[in-house]
Amino acid sequence: MCVTNVWVSGLISPLGPPGRILRAVRDGLIEAVASWDLAGGIGEVLRRPELARYGIAEQDVREVLVLLASALPDVDVDVEPHDPGDAPVIASALAGAVGALVTGDRGLVDDASLTAWLEARGIALLTPAALLERLGAA
């Protein structure tokens, strides 16, 4: 499961680790998992005026949302992340029974209690580069 910053970074920099992950989702090598809140957040962030300088086309936004459309469950989270805005991300990971939550958000990656809580549920918390390393594509 990839969080908003990975989707946005993937569209901005298609050759970097997030872009390579986005391509793997498009190619069906990685299954996307999301929640309604997360998909809405991704759409909102990708349409922010300050991102216009990166040339993210509306078609790119729609394509990302279509990739997520088939995986939009809703689940409650019984953990309190440092940033309450991260709850939809955690809910998506739980609902999708993912093996990894992929993010560049240091607030998530550096949250030891959240990392332990997720690991107890079989979910690794990884950066994009760490996921690629695990996949042997670093």
| 73 phi and psi angles, rounded to 5 deg | -85, 180
Name which residue leads in pLDDT, 16 or 67: 16
- In this prediction, residue 43 carries a pLDDT of 84
| pLDDT tier for residue 123 given thresholds of 50, 70 and 90 | very high
Domain range enclosing 89 = 4-134
Counting the structural domains of the chain, the total is 1
| Strands (E) located in the chain | 100-102, 124-126
Helix, coil or strand: residue 29: coil
Joined together, the tokens standing for residue 46 give 């990708």
What pLDDT, on the 0 to 100 scale, is given for residue 1? 59
Which pTM value belongs to this model? 0.53
* Separation of alpha carbons 15 and 85, rounded Å: 28
